[in-house]
Structure formats: structure tokens, C-alpha cells
A and B are shown apart, each in its own frame.
Chain A
Amino acid sequence: MGQATSPPLLRMRGIVKQFPGVRALDGVDLEVRAGEVHCLLGQNGAGKSTLIKVLAGAHRPDQGEIELDGEPQRFADPTAAMRAGIATIYQELDLVAGLSVADNIFLGHERARWGFTRRGEGEKAARELMGRLGHPEIPPRREVGRLPAAGQQVVSMARALSHDARLIVMDEPSAALAHDEVENLFRIIRELTAAGVAVVYISHRLAEIREIGDRVTVLKDGRSVAGNLPARTTPTSQVVALMTGRDVEYAFPDPGEPADDRAEVLRVENLSLKGAFENVSFSIRGGEIVGLAGLVGAGRSEILETIYGARRPTSGRVLMEGRPVRPGDTGAAVRRGMGLAPEERKSQALLLNETVAANISLAGLGRYAKAGWLDRRREQADAHAQIEALDIRPADPRRQVKTLSGGNQQKVILARWLLNGRKLLILDEPTRGVDVGARAELYGVVRRLANQGIAVLLVSSEVPEVLGLADRVLVIREGHLIHEAPASELDESRVLNMIMEGSAL
């Protein structure tokens, strides 16, 4: 525990980081004392990951000051931050699969003399670190790619410890860990802080923050909105209130008519995928928009992918219009009337250098072909009809897709599926990278499609989006469907409470 009187070890003031089109950080202050566990809270996209990358020297801030022990710092690269005593455990594991445990731990600061590695020394130090982390059974020579996820997390921790850092940043370290592993993690954190090391701890699980944290800084939309909250005593409602509420309120379309009398389009029965989610059951009627809310890693994407046939479920089944769909076969899913607008639309859905018309017709080229020859005129005409129906701008079927804005690119993908008479549209993070003004328009399009009788399954990290657009909301936590209710009966803080109250302790 840090004393209130001690000067801060780290002080970040007014940090601004601009990416093309996005102001990821817009004035963040962060103060961390030696020997404390400082928790960083905020919704997805609030800027937590960008902030710690600035701190680790991986991003250079556009504005703002960083002071370490009162000394102003400018980290040119990650090495500079490490030399200053800052070690970071990233959320996406930053390990090299083909190297051994010991090699990964000391990568970049190898135990070496004259460029020759001293393997015995490195392995001995690695073994000691693994022992200290409570995992003496992980051999230093084992290839990291052959370790399970939890083991890789331990290697990441060992790497941070190997730097003898004064400040260790942990970005959701518990996400890949089981219960007893989390207790082990906390034991290590307590050892570190007792030795005067400061820890910046990022987690979505409030229960963890109450157990291990000293103070909390809350980020929202790239700004720090609170910087000195006591971790144990601040009520959950206050934390959630700070994280929610937006400066820009989105305009959502009016909800649809109650769909009780319409035919069921999709039915998911006891669907399970080992290690990802369990016993998920729900159904969607024609004209209904159903939203999945949950944290990244809660199993949302896996559920979508399994329904669409990109993954094969361990048990359970998926039915379209009452008839089971062949599992693990995307071709079957498409034939039965499903369409997916994936999260990574640039890499997974669009041919960026091709025209709007070519992108729209891609999934149904057969209909324009006569003996292999494309009837380009009909292709253009159909594309034009979709451009008008969805209000794609600029309204030119011959334009390259990459010159369109994010929102209009998303509409091109929707148009592609509409042309093929979809019964179910699966939208994975449809507004990622779409600017605020264009979102409302996209919401309007989705609602119009639903009104035409299409069933829509929506996944979004942004709780307000799920609540505003969907008719019914399914809340997912750690692979389980924990709550289902009409969107009108839920509000943002209730949903956030449900998805964040961790069961890890």
C-alpha cells in the first residue's frame, strides 16, 4: 500500500495521441505511487491499450508529459522505457512461438557476453523466475508454442519480472487464467508491491480490482474522468456511472413491431464449444434484431463463428427455419440463408481495389453469368439498385471500394448479402471504424432490413449500441448466457454490471 504522502513514481499529464481519423487519447492524466496497485478502468475503446503503449514507448504521444521520479521522460522506443524501469505485459501475448521459454523471457536483453548467449545462466534464471511464479514445472527449454495459454501468460509475467522493473503494467493479465492461477497472480503482485514496485493493473472484473487494487483511474472516450478513487470502497454504481454516458448520444431508429407472431428464423439449441462457451440456447424471429452483449473474450465471436459454421461445435445444434444446419460448414450456412458481416471487414469481406459493383455481386456472380461470360450491364444495374436502396455514397457502382468511408463500406457488404435474399444477417461489430455521424445512418439501414422481415444477430462491444439497436439482448459472461431480456427493460449500467462482475474470485 502506498502512503498518501509519498511523491508519485509516475506522473502522466495531458497525454494526447491522434491516429488517422481517431483521437485515441484526448488528455489523460495518470499518477502512480511506488508500491501501489493502480487500476485502470474503462470500456472498450476508452483508450486503455493506447495509454499503456504510450507508457511502454511503443507509441509516441502527440502532446503531454511523462515524469518518472520527477524526471521528465521521452521514450523513443520500447527499449528506452524498459531501461527506465517500465515493463509491460500485453494483452495479446507478445511471445515468439518458436523460441524456448528462457529465450522468450530474455528476448532483447539476453544473458550474453560478446554476443554469445550464456544459455546455462539464462535457463537457470528462467527456472528461478518460473519457481517464483509458482510454476517450477514449466521447463525453460520448452518451446513456448507448445505451452497452453495459461502457461504462456506465466512466461509473459516472467519476462516482465526479468527486467527488475520499478513499474509493471499488466493489461488484463487474468483474462487467460483459471481461478487458482488468479490467486497465484495476486500473491506475486503483493510480493512486488511489498518490494516497492508499482503495478498498473487493467481488468474488467471489478471483484478483482476490489481485492488487489489500491486506487482506480477511470478512462472514458480517451479522457481520464477520475483519477484517485479508492479501489475497495468506491461503490460499483459510481464506477459504472463514470464509465458510461457519452458526450455524443447516438440517434437510434424506433424499435420494430413486436415480432411474436412471426416465424422463427434461427434457433440455437444447447450449443457448446469446448473452452469457449457452453449450453447457449436462443432463437430469433424474422424481423427481429437480437444483440449479444459481453466483454471481449467472453465467447461472443466464437458463438457467431460457430453459428455461421466457421467452427464446429462440441455439442448442440443450429437450426434455420426449423431444419438443422450442417455443423462446421460455412457453405451450408450460406445456402440456408445466413450472411455474415465480419468484424475485420477490410481483410475478411472486401476486395478493396475492386469496384463497388464487383464487391456487391461477389457472392452471387452465378446469376450474371451466361456460359461463363459476365453480363456486366445487369451486374451494374443490380448494384445501382442496392446503392439507392441503402443510400451508399458516392452513388457510383464503378468506384473503388477503398475510397469509400467505413460506414459506406459496411453498407456494401450488407448490399452483397441482400442481393442474395438473406434470411439471417450476422453483424460482428458493424460500426467499428465508422465515424459517429455515419453510425446513425447505418443503424437506420439495419432497422429497415429487419422491417423487411430479415432476422439480425448483432454483436458489439459498445453496450449502448446493443441496447439502442436490438429488440432483445443476450448477456454473455465467460462463455455462458447469463441473462436474456427485451432491450427496453435494460439499461447500460445494469448490463455493464452483469458483464463485469467477475466470477473469478
Chain B
Amino acid sequence: MSDATSLKKAPAPANGTRRVWQGMGEVRHVGLVVALVLLAIVGLITEPDNFATSSNVVGILALASTIGVITVGMTFVIIGGGIDLSVGALMALASVWATTVATQSYGPWVMALCAILVGAGAGLVNGLLISYGRLVPFIATLAMLVAARGLAQRMSDRKTQLIRPENDAIEALSTTKVLGLPLVVFIFAAVAVAGWVLLNRTTFGRRTFAVGGNPEAARLAGINIRRHTLALYALSGLCCGIAAIIIMARTTTGSSTHGDLYELDAIAAVIIGGTLLTGGRGTLLGSILGVLVFTLITNLFILNGLQTSDQLIAKGVIIVIAVLLQRRGLRTPT
């Protein structure tokens, strides 16, 4: 049988660099790296004086850090076979809750803790509704999106809440620089590295692929699918809490309007990063590269004084092209 003969064939020996790439499971990201380089070249050509400045690069990374942290959580949820539409709203709610008069009176540490707990707690509610209440993830997190924004508006009375001067330690996360980069970028980097390790080096990560790729196989292998799903949404909520700290640091405010439509940006970044929307396949590095591509586009459009509307059109086109390219890549195995 042809199956048997093809099995016997020894795999072609991979050369050194290629093996390293494959070992990281990231060989398919070459396209995204190329896209980043191309965008950078466009930036250098169109705005040679402004693009390559250190302040612009720092600005890009700071801009990427908020959505980047959210995207880390989103990557886990989508690989695990779900979707989380509530991320932007959860970030807003966490930022509002952490900047109320009452919370601010306890100082910056409690504010940060509050943001994290609110995010993780709301994520836990998402997870409970989905895994034990058996709601479809789309519906459960859509409901959370609406409700969390409403709650944020109610708590803040639709006003932007400023962080009081005695709590400027929060703002310092954005203004203090180490090695020329603000601390929020290091928070983003830490979350990304922790996420990568969790996804690729722990049993939790392996099982996330299994739960999303073949839930029945995962169940038969003895994995508690409900508990795992619950943990995935709590993790996404936790990331929203961390993102709330970053947005508070960058804007010195908490507001119910923070993170509007972030869920779409995060999902788009995950998808162009090569993660299957149906779950079971994906990489964190791809998602991060996806965030950087989007942020770079935003930056280029702003530098060149172009309309936001054009920027949205460009993003839409990129999503479609990326997915079309990936499908071709899937059909012809490397």
C-alpha cells in the first residue's frame, strides 16, 4: 500500500538553522517577519526623518504593549477552541474599578491588584458560563462585553477617572525607562515570555492544543475539559487586567471607553499570526508578530498623515491576504 511505503521513507535531513526554526515550531512566521521588514522599509522611505527615531520606536512598542498583552490571552482561548469577545470591555472595567476614589485611597499596589482581580474574576465568570453553563463562547463573552461596558459606565458615571498625583507610581510604569524602554514594554515582554513558556513547555499548554484540536480525544486521554476551558477564560481575563494597568499607566486614566474594539484587533492579530480560529493549532510568536504588524501599520498611517479609514481598509486587506496565504501553506506541507 502506498501509505506503508511512504511511511518507510526516511525524512529528509534538515539543515541546522531550519531545524532550530522547526524546533521552535515557528517556521511559518517567515512571512510575517518579511511583512514587518517591508513595512519598516516603507516607513524609512516615506518618513526618513521621523520613522527611525528612538522616540517613534518606543512609541510603537508602548502602543503594542496594551493590545499585545490581551492578544497573549486571546491566543490561548482560540487555540483551546473558543473565542473571547469581552477582552476590550474587561480592560475598561478593570481600569475603571482600579481608579475609583475608594480604590485609589489604598495606593498604587492595591490599584494594580484590583485591576488584575477584576479582569481574572470576570474571565472566571466567562469560563463558568461556557464550561459549566454550556453557553456558546461567542454568546457568553458577547454578553460579558455588553454587561462589563455597562458596569464600567455606571461605576464611572461615564466620566474619565484621573489617577491622583499620590498614585503616580502607576504612571511611572510608562515614564520610567530602563535601557531606553518604558517599563510597560517590559511588562508586555514578560507576559509574552511567560505565555510562550506556558503554551510550549507545560502540560497546560499541550492540553490546550488537545482540548481545542480534538475535545473527544482529550476527554478520552483523561483531561478535564471543563476545568481546562474555565482556566483558559480566566487566563484571558487576567491578561485584560494586566492590560488595564498598562493603559492606566499610558493615559493616567481609567475610563469605560478604553479598549473599544480591542477584541477585534486581538482576534485579527491571532488569526494573521497563523492560529486556526477552529482551535488546535497556533503559536504565540505568530500572534505577537501579528500585533507588531498591526501596530506598525497604524504608526505608518499616522506618520504619513493618512486617514484612519484608509488604515482600517488596509488592515482588512491584510487579514484576508494572511489567511489566504496560510491556507496555501497548510495544503503544501513543508
Does chain A bind chain B?
Answer: yes
Task: Identify the A interface with B (CB < 8 A).
Answer: 56, 58, 77-79, 82, 88, 90, 94-99, 103, 107-110, 112, 115-117, 119, 135, 137-139, 141-142, 146-151, 178-181, 275
| Given A97-B214, A97-B280, A139-B11, CB of A58 within 8 Å of CB of B4 | no
B222 touching A96 by the CB < 8 A rule? no
A115 touching B202 by the CB < 8 A rule? yes
* B34 proximal to A (CB < 8 A): no
CB-nearest residue of chain B to A181: B4
Contact with A along B7-19 (1 / 0, CB 8 A): 1111100000000
| Given A116-B201, A149-B3, A150-B4, CB of A108 within 8 Å of CB of B223 | yes
A115 touching B222 by the CB < 8 A rule? no
Q: Find A135's partner among B7, B209, B221 (CB 8 Å cutoff).
A: B7
Chain B contacts with A in 190-239, Cβ cutoff 8 A: 201-207, 209-210, 212-214, 216-223
Q: Find A96's partner among B204, B205, B213 (CB 8 Å cutoff).
A: B213
Q: What chain B residues lie within 8 Å of A275 (beta carbons)?
A: 2
A79 touching B222 by the CB < 8 A rule? yes
Q: What chain B residues lie within 8 Å of A117 (beta carbons)?
A: 201-203, 205-206
B202 touching A98 by the CB < 8 A rule? no
* B307 proximal to A (CB < 8 A): no
How many angstroms from the CA of A437 to the CA of B276 in the assembled complex?
46
* B333 proximal to A (CB < 8 A): yes
Q: What chain A residues lie within 8 Å of B164 (beta carbons)?
A: none
How many angstroms from the CA of A451 to the CA of B217 in the assembled complex?
47
How many angstroms from the CA of A104 to the CA of B10 in the assembled complex?
21
Q: Find B222's partner among A82, A138, A142 (CB 8 Å cutoff).
A: A82
Q: Find A109's partner among B3, B222, B280 (CB 8 Å cutoff).
A: B222
* B309 proximal to A (CB < 8 A): no
A108 touching B221 by the CB < 8 A rule? yes
Interface residues on chain B, number (Cβ under 8 Å): 36
B6 touching A148 by the CB < 8 A rule? yes
Q: Find A94's partner among B202, B220, B276 (CB 8 Å cutoff).
A: B220
How many angstroms from the CA of A116 to the CA of B206 in the assembled complex?
10
- What is the minimal beta-carbon distance from B49 to any residue of chain A, in angstroms? 46
> Top 4 closest A-B pairs, CB basis?
A108-B221, A79-B222, A178-B1, A98-B281
CB-nearest residue of chain A to B217: A94
- What is the minimal beta-carbon distance from B218 to any residue of chain A, in angstroms? 7
Task: Identify the B interface with A (CB < 8 A).
Answer: 1-4, 6-11, 22-23, 201-207, 209-210, 212-214, 216-223, 276, 280-281, 333
- What is the minimal beta-carbon distance from B331 to any residue of chain A, in angstroms? 12
A-B contact list, 10 entries, CB within 8 Å: A77-B222, A98-B213, A98-B276, A108-B207, A108-B218, A112-B202, A137-B9, A147-B7, A149-B3, A181-B4
- What is the minimal beta-carbon distance from A289 to any residue of chain B, in angstroms? 34
Q: What chain A residues lie within 8 Å of B281 (beta carbons)?
A: 97-98
How many angstroms from the CA of A142 to the CA of B333 in the assembled complex?
11
How many angstroms from the CA of A47 to the CA of B160 in the assembled complex?
65
How many angstroms from the CA of A137 to the CA of B9 in the assembled complex?
7
- What is the minimal beta-carbon distance from A138 to any residue of chain B, in angstroms? 7
Q: Find A95's partner among B4, B205, B214, B333 (CB 8 Å cutoff).
A: B214
A115 touching B204 by the CB < 8 A rule? yes
How many angstroms from the CA of A112 to the CA of B207 in the assembled complex?
13
Q: What chain A residues lie within 8 Å of B9 (beta carbons)?
A: 137
B201 touching A119 by the CB < 8 A rule? yes
B210 touching A96 by the CB < 8 A rule? yes
How many angstroms from the CA of A92 to the CA of B3 in the assembled complex?
18
CB-nearest residue of chain A to B223: A108
A94 touching B216 by the CB < 8 A rule? yes
How many angstroms from the CA of A108 to the CA of B209 in the assembled complex?
12
Q: Find B203's partner among A56, A112, A137, A142 (CB 8 Å cutoff).
A: A112
How many angstroms from the CA of A474 to the CA of B278 in the assembled complex?
40
CB-nearest residue of chain B to A138: B7
Q: What chain B residues lie within 8 Å of A180 (beta carbons)?
A: 4
Q: Find B213's partner among A82, A97, A110, A119 (CB 8 Å cutoff).
A: A97
How many angstroms from the CA of A103 to the CA of B218 in the assembled complex?
12
- What is the minimal beta-carbon distance from B22 to any residue of chain A, in angstroms? 8
| Given A96-B214, A117-B202, CB of A108 within 8 Å of CB of B222 | yes
- What is the minimal beta-carbon distance from B24 to any residue of chain A, in angstroms? 11
- What is the minimal beta-carbon distance from B78 to any residue of chain A, in angstroms? 12
A99 touching B210 by the CB < 8 A rule? yes
Q: What chain A residues lie within 8 Å of B218 (beta carbons)?
A: 96, 107-108
Q: What chain A residues lie within 8 Å of B7 (beta carbons)?
A: 135, 137-138, 147-148, 150-151
Q: What chain B residues lie within 8 Å of A112 (beta carbons)?
A: 202-203
| Given A95-B217, A116-B201, CB of A137 within 8 Å of CB of B8 | yes
Task: A96-B210, A137-B11 are known; give 18 further A-B pairs, CB within 8 A.
Answer: A78-B220, A97-B214, A97-B280, A97-B281, A98-B213, A99-B210, A107-B221, A107-B223, A108-B221, A108-B222, A112-B202, A115-B202, A116-B202, A117-B205, A135-B7, A142-B11, A146-B333, A151-B7
How many angstroms from the CA of A107 to the CA of B280 in the assembled complex?
14
A178 touching B206 by the CB < 8 A rule? no
How many angstroms from the CA of A146 to the CA of B7 in the assembled complex?
11
Q: What chain B residues lie within 8 Å of A142 (beta carbons)?
A: 11
How many angstroms from the CA of A430 to the CA of B10 in the assembled complex?
45
How many angstroms from the CA of A149 to the CA of B213 in the assembled complex?
17
Q: What chain A residues lie within 8 Å of B220 (beta carbons)?
A: 56, 58, 78, 88, 90, 94
A107 touching B3 by the CB < 8 A rule? no
How many angstroms from the CA of A56 to the CA of B220 in the assembled complex?
8
How many angstroms from the CA of A96 to the CA of B213 in the assembled complex?
6
| Given A96-B217, A107-B210, CB of A150 within 8 Å of CB of B1 | yes
Q: What chain B residues lie within 8 Å of A78 (beta carbons)?
A: 219-222
Q: What chain B residues lie within 8 Å of A97 (beta carbons)?
A: 213-214, 280-281
CB-nearest residue of chain B to A111: B203
CB-nearest residue of chain B to A184: B4
Q: What chain A residues lie within 8 Å of B203 (beta carbons)?
A: 110, 112, 115-117
B217 touching A107 by the CB < 8 A rule? yes
How many angstroms from the CA of A2 to the CA of B320 in the assembled complex?
62
- What is the minimal beta-carbon distance from A358 to any residue of chain B, in angstroms? 25
How many angstroms from the CA of A97 to the CA of B333 in the assembled complex?
13
How many angstroms from the CA of A78 to the CA of B217 in the assembled complex?
11
A98 touching B209 by the CB < 8 A rule? yes
How many angstroms from the CA of A142 to the CA of B9 in the assembled complex?
14
How many angstroms from the CA of A146 to the CA of B332 in the assembled complex?
10
CB-nearest residue of chain A to B204: A115
Q: What chain B residues lie within 8 Å of A179 (beta carbons)?
A: 1
- What is the minimal beta-carbon distance from B215 to any residue of chain A, in angstroms? 10
- What is the minimal beta-carbon distance from A478 to any residue of chain B, in angstroms? 11
Q: What chain A residues lie within 8 Å of B214 (beta carbons)?
A: 94-97
How many angstroms from the CA of A109 to the CA of B203 in the assembled complex?
9
Q: What chain B residues lie within 8 Å of A95 (beta carbons)?
A: 214, 217
Q: What chain B residues lie within 8 Å of A151 (beta carbons)?
A: 3, 7
- What is the minimal beta-carbon distance from A278 to any residue of chain B, in angstroms? 13
CB-nearest residue of chain A to B212: A98
- What is the minimal beta-carbon distance from A284 to any residue of chain B, in angstroms? 31
Q: What chain B residues lie within 8 Å of A88 (beta carbons)?
A: 220
How many angstroms from the CA of A103 to the CA of B204 in the assembled complex?
12
| Given A97-B280, A98-B209, A99-B209, CB of A178 within 8 Å of CB of B4 | yes
